[in-house]
Amino acid sequence: MEDNLPVNVREYQELAKKVLPKMAYDYINGGAEDEHTLRENIAAYTRIILRPRVLVDVLSFASSCKIEDVNSSCNAIRFYQLYVYKNRNISATLVQRAESCGFKALVLTVDTPMLGRREADIRNKMIFPRSGNLEGLMTIDDHDTTNGSQLERFARATLDPSLSWKDIEWLKSITSMPIFLKGIVTAEDELYIKKTVMKQELTGENENGWHAARRAVEAGVAGVIVSNHGARQLDYAPATIAALEEVVRAVAGALPVLVDGGIRRGTDVFKALALGARAVMVGRPVFFGLAARGEAGARHVIEMLNGELEVAMALCGCRSVGEITRSHVMTEGDRIRSLL
């Protein structure tokens, strides 16, 4: 066993910064433009306060809340994240490969019709490693390592900026995997999703009911992920934890809502669940763990978050994830409303 293992995500981040080449660390850690949303993704969590309950007998908490309950990146279930390329055949091939490998769901990233301006990458003349997945499917003719971000040029050449709702229909026609949409931060998008999904499947007899919505979900979009791409796309997009509740309300139980962005503590996971997320996803913490200590580091990061969540749950008086409720947190909005 190594001495002095990091005890939290921030310490993993410090280690990752020490061991990674600057270009790689900046690529992983950086966000778009002023990095306002990058800071906010984390800061918005710090403004949410927990409201613990005491004397509720939580001694059995260790058995009831595995990270699997809240994190879709566990070993057992794999989701395949998809970009839609200008050449649809490439995306179709990737989808079919994922399906035949046993991936359980597709995560379609919808916030990247083009790449956000990541200024650290532009400054570092970032070179990105060729994706093995695209071998034989795409030849990328870019030997220019002297100018700007190579990833940005790759994205401009290959990603389809005309991606739209009709492509969801196309995706559904080529796969039986459930499709999650990743990159939603407003109720307006949510309502559109709900309407589109429900229009196809609702019979009218039970238009507002859970059953109809569930049938719709089974047949259509399986869920949405409130995400701003780790603040790497549109700077000044809302912090995801601040956007979550608006989206959850708009969906009104018709679809599961997941969230990512800025989660660095078990208490952050707790806050996201309290505000209506069915599960959370983490990005950079896993990269930091991986960079610092390989697979063991990545695993440790997830275990630490799980351990922190268990403690937070126990101290808030929650014996299972299902016992975490909206009244266990106080947001800035709640504070303002309480003064009125």
Ligand X SMILES: CCCCC(=O)C(=O)O
Ligand Y SMILES: Cc1cc2nc3c(=O)[nH]c(=O)nc-3n(C[C@H](O)[C@H](O)[C@H](O)COP(=O)(O)O)c2cc1C
The one among 194, 215, 229, 271 contacting ligand Y by CB under 6 A? 229
Going by C-alpha positions, the residue among 132, 183, 149 that lies closest to residue 26 is: 149
Nearer residue to ligand Y within complex by CB, 16 or 198: 16
Binding site for ligand X (CB under 6 A): 115, 151, 155, 229, 232
Report the residue from 182, 265, 300, 328 that binds ligand Y according to the rule CB under 6 A: 182
The alpha carbons of the chain give a radius of gyration, in whole angstroms, of 21
The values of phi and psi at residue 91, to 5°, are -65, -40
SS3 category, 259: strand
Residue nearer to ligand X on the CB measure, 155 or 222:
155
If DSSP codes are grouped into helix, strand and coil, which group holds residue 223?
Answer: strand
Whole-number minimum distance, CB 28 to ligand Y, in Å?
A: 4
Q: What is the DSSP string of 46-114?
A: HT-EE----SS--TTHHHH--HHHHBTTSSS--EEEE--BSSHHHHHHHHHHHHHTT--EEEEE-S-SS
Output 279 or 314, the one with its CB closest to ligand Y. 279
Q: List the structure tokens of 242.
A: 């601040």
Q: Which is nearer to ligand X, 6 or 30 (CB)?
A: 30
- Region of 111 (left: φ > 0; alpha: ψ -120 to 50; beta: rest) is alpha
Strand partners, 179: 106, 221
**In the beta sheet, which residues pair with residue 260?**
281
Token digits for 26?
């900046």
- Closest separation between CB of residue 276 and ligand Y, Å? 18
Task: Yes or no: say if 290 and 14 are a contact pair by the CB < 8 Å rule.
Answer: no
Minimum distance of ligand X from residue 129's CB (angstroms): 11
Catalytic residue among 36, 211, 229, 300: 229
Binding residues for ligand Y restricted to 80-109, rule: CB under 6 A:
81, 109
Instruction: Supply the minimum distance, in Å, between the C-beta of residue 149 and ligand X.
Output: 10
Query: With binding defined as CB under 6 A, does residue 289 bind ligand Y?
Result: no
Active site residue 229: yes
CA distance 110 to 282: 18
Which of 230, 266, 289, 297 forms a contact with ligand Y (CB under 6 A)? 230
Measured CA distances, 255 to 180, 195, 200, 222, 239 (Å) = 10, 12, 15, 7, 21
Residue 155 site contact among ligand X, ligand Y, none (CB < 5 to 8 Å, cut-off depends on kind): ligand X
In the block, tokens 């800025």 appear at: 262
Residue 325 binds ligand Y, judged by CB under 6 A: no
Backbone angles phi, psi at 280, to 5 degrees: -125, 160
Stretch of residues binding ligand Y (CB under 6 A), selected from 131-139, 158-166, 223-231, 269-277: 223-231
Residue 123 parent element (H or E): helix 119-123
CB of 183 closer than 8 Å to CB of 228: yes
Shortest distance, CB of residue 184 to ligand X, whole angstroms?
16
Looking at the Cβ atoms of 212 and 312, the one nearer to ligand Y is: 312
- Per partner kind, with CB cut-offs from 5 to 8 A, the member of ligand Y, ligand X, none near residue 312 is none
> Judged by CB under 6 A, which of 152, 245, 260, 310 binds ligand Y?
260
Residue 284 binds what, of ligand Y, ligand X, none (CB under 5 to 8 Å, by partner type)?
A: ligand Y
284 binds ligand Y (CB under 6 A): yes
The H or E element that residue 194 is part of is helix 187-201
Q: Is residue 28 near ligand Y by the rule CB under 6 A?
A: yes
Residue 282 binds ligand Y (CB under 6 A)? yes
- Residues in contact with ligand Y by CB under 6 A are 27-28, 41, 81, 109, 182, 227, 229-230, 260-263, 282-284, 287
Binding residues for FMN: 60, 81, 109, 182, 227, 260-264, 283-284
Active site residue ranges: 229
Binding residues for glyoxylate: 83, 118, 229, 232
